[in-house]
Copies of this chain bind each other. A is one copy, B any other.
Amino acid sequence: MSERIHQQLAFLNEADKLKSVVRGTTLNDATRRENSAEHSWHIALYALVMAEHAERPVNVDRVIKMLLLHDLVEIDAGDIPIHSAAARDVAAQAAIEQAAADRIFALLPADQADACRALWDEFEAAETDDAIFAKSIDRVQPVIANLESGGGSWRDFNVTVEHLETRVGIKVRRGAPAIWEALSARINVWFSTNT
């Protein structure tokens, strides 16, 4: 038993490093950039509250677990802001993240490593209803943060409304169209005023 607990703690201690992975997006009050650990908490809370807006019915408990786990690979791979030039090399980033998943989930006892890796793979593949909705929620929160903070990473990367639609809107619409629709007026006002 104790050996198993120490394996689990090795994983949880590794996970602590996600608190030091800084994202492109700031807090809503723009005082600093958020990190991937607090982002993961926030989007799990988003899922808890907004699962009813999923395009197709989801198991919110599975969605929350996916979102708690989904960014752990950034401990090795870093966060690549979606609007940055680096985000364009999708294949290279995917290979780094796969290697990170191999390393980090393997810290767990084998049965849990397999279960967590399967959830992460499902999230990455974005084919199941749960994963599609989880991906939508992951994309929505930074949009809100940018609207609340006065532009945030949209200003940093000179994002246009067309770019936002292509990189973000399409994915949010796929899993949670009602949420994107509810935001569209604010988004259009911001981009027509600021770009």
Q: Which residues of A contact B (CB under 8 A)?
A: 1-2, 5-6, 8-9, 11-13, 15-20, 27-29, 31, 34-35, 37-38, 40-42, 44-46, 48-50, 53, 61, 64-65, 68-69, 108, 112, 141, 144-145, 148, 178-179, 181-182
Contacts and interface: CB of A to CB of B under 8 A. Distances in A.
Top 9 A-B residue pairs of the complex, sorted by shortest distance between their CB atoms: A41-B41, A61-B61, A37-B38, A5-B182, A16-B28, A38-B38, A2-B182, A19-B38, A40-B41
- DSSP majority for the A interface? helix
Oligomer copy total? 2
Nearest to A71: B41
B12 A20 contact: no
Contacts of A37: 37-38, 41-42
A31 B20 contact: yes
